[in-house]
Chains A and B, each alone.
Chain A
Amino acid sequence: MLFSSHRSTGSSHGLASTETRAPIGFAVAALNRLAQSDLLDRARMRRPAEQLVFTATRGGFRTAAAAGRAFARRGGPGPGVRQEASSNSGVFDLNPTEDEQMLVDVVTDFATEVLRPSAAEADDACAASEAVLKGANEIGLPILGVPEALGGISEHRSAMAGTLVAEALSRGDMGLAVATLAPGSVATAISLWGTDEQQQSYLPAFTGDDVPAAALALAEPTVLFDVLRPATRATRTADGYTLTGVKSAVARGAAAELFVVGALLDGKPALFLVPSSTDGLEIEADPSMGVRAAGLTRLTLTEARAELLGDADGAAYTECVRLSRLAWCALAVGTAQAVLDYVKVYVKEREAFGEPIAHRQSVAFMVADIAIELQAMRLVTWRAASRASQGKEFAREVALARKLCADKGMKIGLDGVQLLGGHGFVKEHPVERWYRDLRAIGLMEGAVLV
């Protein structure tokens, strides 16, 4: 915030504001301007490769949000359907339920056979293919957290099942996991906090055949962003609210037909529903270091009409933040598992000095530490998820999972590249993508939810 008052991020080529230009710098800058002019192109000295692709390029231009469908108003103002917390016998247990295991098996197949093979292309294109999105809808990802009574599949609070599913998907690819989980995250939010009218109006689209893209928008492009104090403001109007502000890391924002947006109302953070057909919405591509297949965008809201989702005292919002962080932890676990699966094969095949590099302790111990830290990440994440499903307090457990997954997940991504050496740095192998994806953990807010 301090920064944004006198400088907009992204305008100074990554330079700190204390940098000053020396004489030689002016000459270099002039040369650079020449390099950027079309003189070179007319002389055919440059490959004509700079094609402006909206989703893959931060072109600086904005477009209106997707046209979107009309969500027919149905139902009354009363509270919506709520799932009960799952009860438990008080036994320490690491076995998923039969239903959860079935779900994980199906999702694992999907991640292995559909996500992984298309991951590199999706990363490049900054978009998930139609086949991937269709497959995700077919296996029921959008309705995972929707109560049975509303056409979904979940009898109880689904945080644990959602965590296992996110982990399994991310083992295929994190970016595609986010792309395919984004609509379900919005459906889960409406299931958890929506009124009867909101559930009746919005959820049928998610439980039908033509599932809309939808996005949970909590993050904002400010340094030292505190998700509990968003700069996006909600203002009361005669018949609802209007929102003004900028949200970042909005998954598949260009296609999204419905947004759940976090904004500050009377000093407290709250969630708001905003259909894409609302006036005052602009979408800008915001391709980032990783999670590119999720088609990240920025969403600018200018006095956009919105309806409150959940309470205005910060409770629903805070729970949403926690459940979202939990989902990112699960994604970290899945991706870290992908790294381990990959490197443990590689280091046994790659030879140096006449034997597999796995025979050296300095290499083998890195693999051992990946295995140890990965399992610690998984157990801490599972504990948070299980507590959420049981309706217990889980703020502490989520915070610890997030810290552990951010630190150890990144280390695993880093070591994954290191173990492959130069091969890890090139796109022939997926470890460089996992490195980029794992940096998202600990800084992302929103986009996904369990």
Chain B
Amino acid sequence: MINLETPRKHRMLVDQAHQVAMNMLRPISRKYDRAEHSYPKELDMLAAMIDGLSESGTSEGAGATSSSAPEPVSSKGPVDPNKVRNGANLASILSVAEMCWGDTALLLSMPRQGLGNAAIASVANDEQKERFKSVWASMAITEPSMGSDSAALTTTSVKDGDHYVINGEKIYVTSGERSDAVVVWATLDKAAGRAAIKSFVVEKGTPGMKVERLEHKLGIRASDTAVITFTDCRVPAENLLGTPEIDVKAGFGGAMATFDNTRPLVAAMAIGCARASLDLTRDLLEQAGVSIDYDRPAQVQSAAAAAFLALEADWEGAKLLTMQAAWMADNKIPNSLEASMSKAKAGRVGSAVTLGCVELAGTIGYSENELLEKWSRDSKILDIFEGTQQIQQLIVARRVLGLSSAELK
């Protein structure tokens, strides 16, 4: 039966996340936006609390680690209506959105909730999942000369006995300095193309791995972004995630499967961040005597109310697309298309909403006295990392049109 409300079983989780966001993240939000690169020590206690909630089972999916890859299914038929599940994927996007309503950068800095952890949850075998379960893992994909085009990756990994030797430079590693380990994408054989790209867990302190510097950024400044180099860095062979075989037919699937889980998560970040802007702007407009009337036509209301309605409508669409992608993952329905749709929509809506709200609030919105200007800087990255707007459009277009990457470049 069609129902698009927040699942009853996740409502308490959402409420908890909201309270944490309001009472723990918001009070330190501006502080760490200004103090870029200083570690938000308050998060240690929060991370311990989230771990506690997970252990006690009172919270399902409070962060990135709890999303898991959908099992392969033979067809995309409708699921048995009696067995529809609302599981960890939906819980994750709902709680991540709530936390980003608090502060996106602080959510990204949350110990043991890194995108690397999502990668481990998606592609690791059971032994690896157990071994890395309490490790804070960040994700290293991008290189100075390579972003969206992963086939152009130059970091190499060469088997040497029971180790792999990694060489290369990675940039944009979120929490790269603070994390316990880094999940690195490297190629076993450049000539074999995408199929040879594998991910490796490299623990901090491994000789040859060095954090070179931290970036100064437009937004999400509480979240550190590191440049990391690997020079003859020896990693135990059992730290390769997934299968070591170069299966040209299976191709890039292994590494890319991560994205089906992480893209809705990033979409959820945009939704949370944008809702912060909408909530505050609605309040500011009401104080200025403009309240939103959902029944009267927009063109007979004030221009501000009409603009707000348009932003909120766009936001609602992004949110439901993201819930759809997570719901499909929970129900083992392949969701690559819907994951990219949600990321594309939420990414651009995040920008439209946060920037629109700054405009609606005038210099109040532009000033550091309020957080509206910060949210409009934080949101921009969400339309870039885990696949830019244009990459998502490319994926959606190829799938909708049934075109290969050779046909639609």
Contacts and interface: CB of A to CB of B under 8 A. Distances in A.
B344 interface: yes
B7 interface: yes
Contacts of B403: 348, 358-359, 364
A396 B300 CA distance: 17
Interface in A312-355: 318, 321-322, 340, 344, 347-348
A398 B320 contact: no
A369 B395 CA distance: 11
A409 to B, nearest CB: 12
B84 A95 contact: yes
Given A92-B4, A364-B401, A386-B3, A404 B314 contact: yes
Contact of B86 (A92, A226, A383, A390): A92
B173 interface: no
Interface in A296-326: 318, 321-322
Contact of B90 (A92, A398, A404): A92
Contact of B309 (A88, A160, A399): A399
A250 B407 CA distance: 49
Given A224-B299, A365-B397, A379-B4, A95 B79 contact: yes
A224 B300 contact: yes
B400 A371 contact: yes
Nearest to B1: A97
Given A344-B400, A372-B321, A379-B320, A95 B81 contact: yes
Contact of B295 (A86, A358, A397, A399): A399
Contacts of A369: 393
B307 to A, nearest CB: 11
Nearest to A399: B294
B316 interface: yes
Contact of A361 (B296, B320, B394): B394
Interface string A223-250: 0111110000000000000000000000
Given A91-B7, A386-B4, A395 B295 contact: yes
Given A399-B295, A400-B312, A404-B314, A383 B4 contact: yes
Contact of B321 (A361, A376, A398): A376
A258 interface: no
B2 A386 contact: yes
B8 interface: yes
B248 interface: no
A193 interface: no
Interface in A71-109: 86, 88-98, 100
A393 to B, nearest CB: 10
Given A364-B408, A372-B344, A404-B316, A344 B401 contact: yes
A228 B296 contact: yes
B296 A379 contact: no
A403 B295 CA distance: 11
Contacts of B8: 89-91
B289 interface: no
Q: Which bucket holds chain B's interface residue count?
A: 35 or more
B5 interface: yes
A365 B295 contact: no
Nearest to A340: B400
Contacts of A98: 81
A290 to B, nearest CB: 19
Contacts of A90: 3, 5, 7-9
Nearest to B312: A400
Interface of A is mostly: helix
B298 interface: yes
A155 interface: no
A226 to B, nearest CB: 5
Given A92-B90, A344-B400, A400 B309 contact: yes
A91 B86 contact: yes
A373 B313 CA distance: 11
B393 A365 contact: yes
B6 interface: yes
Contacts of A225: 297
Contacts of A396: 294
Given A364-B401, A375-B341, A379-B324, A403 B310 contact: yes
Nearest to B80: A95
A382 interface: yes
Given A359-B407, A395-B294, A92 B401 contact: no
A401 interface: yes
B405 to A, nearest CB: 11
A126 interface: no
Given A372-B396, A379-B320, A386-B3, A93 B84 contact: yes
B81 A97 contact: yes
Contacts of A322: 295
B310 A95 contact: no
Given A91-B86, A376-B345, A401 B313 contact: yes
Given A94-B324, A361-B408, A395-B295, A347 B401 contact: yes
Interface string B49-70: 0000000000000000000000
A280 to B, nearest CB: 29
Contacts of A340: 400
A284 B3 CA distance: 42
Contacts of B409: 359, 361
A39 interface: no
Interface of B: 1-9, 78-79, 81, 84, 86, 90, 294-300, 309-310, 312-314, 316-318, 320-321, 323-324, 327, 338, 341, 344-345, 390, 393-394, 396-398, 400-403, 407-409
Given A94-B4, A365-B394, A379-B320, 14 more contacts: A89-B1, A91-B84, A92-B86, A92-B327, A322-B295, A364-B394, A364-B408, A368-B344, A368-B393, A372-B321, A376-B314, A376-B317, A400-B309, A404-B316
15 contacts: A91-B7, A92-B7, A95-B1, A95-B84, A96-B1, A228-B295, A228-B296, A344-B401, A348-B401, A364-B393, A367-B401, A372-B341, A377-B317, A386-B3, A404-B317
Q: Which 7 A-B pairs have the closest CB atoms?
A: A90-B8, A376-B317, A379-B320, A399-B294, A364-B397, A403-B313, A368-B397
